[in-house]
Structure 1
Amino acid sequence: MKNNIHLALQIVPLTTSDRAYPFIDKAIEAIAASGLRYQVGAMETVIEGPYDDAMRTVKMAQQACFDAGAEELVVNIKLHVRKNGDVTFGEKLEKYS
């Protein structure tokens, strides 16, 4: 699948709440390093890009958390895909800017 998709990623480190944020920060750093477009939200980060690249970015974000010392994660993923055509931030957000 070569079309751009949207992948909403929520990584929840299973640790005390005050220790979770550094792991989440590492996940977001990995997403930023992927080169894909992304938007950080309060509950999840949405990634825009080709399916395989987006899924590779999920793996990178998980590994970044483990490399930072996380022992266990709950990972929630939502996908918006189209058979023919890209899914873009612009189409969803332009009326709000």
Structure 2
Amino acid sequence: MYTTSIAIQVLPDITEMDKICAIVDHVIEYIDSTGCNYMVGPFETTIEGDFETLMSIIKRCQEIPVELGAPSTKSYVKIFHNPNGVLTIAEKTDKFK
């Protein structure tokens, strides 16, 4: 049971589209490396897990773009937290596949 679902859109403060895409790819690779369940969408990536773990992932997602040369980064984050559990990505989207 997941207690938290977070959607994050990371926007490195760079104008070159190829660099933006490369940095976002690194962020997604990091999310993948965490072992959390996630789904990449066209505007944001949704991650499921426990609140503390996901918040540390969100923090790291802010650091990666700067480490890769972006002077700064902006992120849009949506958080749904319920100690009794949240609907999973699959429960929300499988009916549309």
TM-score category (smaller protein) = 0.7 to 0.9
For these two proteins, the number of residue pairs brought into alignment is: 96
Unaligned runs of 5+ in 2: none
Aligned-pair RMSD on alpha carbons? Answer: 1.7
In 1: Cα distance, 2:33 partner to 2:64 partner: 11
Give the SS at the match of 1:11: strand
**Which range moves more in the overlay, 36-45 or 14-23?**
14-23
Alpha-carbon separation, structure 2, partners of 1:57 and 1:9: 10
What corresponds to 1:86 in structure 2?
Answer: 86
Give the aligned partner of residue 11 of structure 2: 12
TM-score norm. by structure 1 comes to: 0.87
Match of 2:96 in 1: 96
TM-score, scaled relative to structure 2 = 0.87
1:77 partner SS: strand
Show the counterpart of 1:25.
25
After TM superposition, where is structure 1 displaced by more than 2 Å over at least 4 residues in a row? none
Equivalent residue number for residue 56 of structure 1: 56
For residues 17 and 82 of structure 1, the distance between their equivalents in structure 2, rounded to whole angstroms, comes to 39
3-state SS of 1:74 partner: strand
By how many angstroms is 1:83 displaced? Answer: 4.1
Q: Percent identity?
A: 30
Give the whole-Å Cα distance in 1 for the aligned partners of 2:88 and 2:2.
10
User: C-alpha distance in 1, partners of 2:48/2:8?
Assistant: 11
Structure 1, unaligned runs of 5 or more: none
Which residue does 2:43 correspond to in 1? Answer: 43
